[in-house]
Amino acid sequence: MDLSNVLGLIQTALELGLICSVTVLALYLSYTMLNVCDLSTDGCFTLGAVTGAVTAMAGHPILAIFAAMAAGLLSGLIVSVLQTRMGINSLLAGIIVNTALYSINIAIMGGASLLSLNKTQTVFSLMKTALAGAPLAGQYKLLTALAAAALIVLFLTLFLRTRMGLAIRATGNNEAMIRALGVDARKTKMIALMLSNGLVAVSGALVCQSQKFGDINMGTGAIVIGLASIVIGEVLLGRLRSFGSRLISAVVGSVVYFLIRAIVLQLGMDANDMKLLSAVIVALALC
């Protein structure tokens, strides 16, 4: 393999890793901080992708990101209501919503299983136009992905230092204590799960616009990839204790995961075996 192919491989892995780091940050919020494993992540990722795709195809690529987030927030609201108000186990609630989202996603796509954005303007093409003539114009996808990841890290860092953010963190650490202090733990869980699902949907919309297509199965395995990235990030930067650095470690874990995946695929591994590799990584790390 020549140097240009290697650099192209690395750039693609960096772009996808940074975009999917938004999903990793969402799972860091729900799984690591709140101790809730939300199994609706896969369906919510696809929900954000297809909602964003349909909105972008209508000529609104930037609005597509916010439309995807709104859809994700609604999905998170339903999951949280099932858990906190209906008393349904968190795993079962996630499975129920994930199952329902398959039909909802198909309906949004108009009954099709694939949407093409080849002739559609996206946030990436807008960035390409904005950077026309600039020295880094050729890296427009990477710069867009980097900007998205940086904005989400900044937002979470600021939000989780507010009173509500501190309540969410405290709920994950000791729910009994936070209840004793008079805080409604159900409310904090609802807000955290809505935010988490909203970010997952944003990640799906960005991936869809980056790859120029939306597929009904594109969210399959998103939760496993996210957990693998979190584990990798903790292994590499686990000694860093500040809150901001932990969020950055999640982003680094996502990038490293996709670099590993790119290398493994280049070495001849079947792409269909990647989900198996992700599962093995998570299982070994958790063990």
pTM of the model: 0.91
Task: Please write down the HEC assignment for all residues of 265-281.
Answer: HHCCCCHHHHHHHHHHH
Contacts of 56-62 with CB under 8 Å at 24 or more apart are 56/117, 56/120, 56/121, 56/122, 56/208, 56/209, 57/115, 57/117, 57/120, 59/121, 61/120, 61/121, 61/122, 61/123, 61/125, 61/126, 61/209, 62/123, 62/126
Q: Which of 261, 268, 278, 187 is nearest to 226 (CA)?
A: 278
- Please state the rounded mean pLDDT for residues 2-22: 81
- Residue 35 is predicted with a pLDDT of 82
CA distance 209 to 213: 7
- 8 to each of 123, 125, 224, 255, 256, how far by Cα in Å? 21, 19, 26, 15, 16
CA distance 178 to 268: 51
- Please state the rounded mean pLDDT for residues 67-88: 93
- Residue 242 is predicted with a pLDDT of 72
Tell me the pLDDT band of 240, cut-offs 50, 70 and 90. Answer: low
CA distance 256 to 236: 10
- Please state the rounded mean pLDDT for residues 114-135: 87
CA distance 86 to 149: 34
- Residue 3 is predicted with a pLDDT of 63
Tell me the pLDDT band of 8, cut-offs 50, 70 and 90. Answer: confident
CB proximity list for 146: less than 8 A, separation 6 or greater: 18
Average pLDDT value over all residues in the chain? 87
Indicate the SS3 state at residue 287: coil
Q: 157 and 33 in contact (C-beta within 8 Å)?
A: no
| pLDDT exceeds 70 at position 2 | no
Tell me the pLDDT band of 105, cut-offs 50, 70 and 90. Answer: very high
CA distance 18 to 22: 7
- Please state the rounded mean pLDDT for residues 48-53: 94
Q: 71 and 63 in contact (C-beta within 8 Å)?
A: no
Lowest mean pLDDT among 188-192, 246-250, 280-284: 280-284
- Residue 268 is predicted with a pLDDT of 75
CA distance 33 to 250: 13
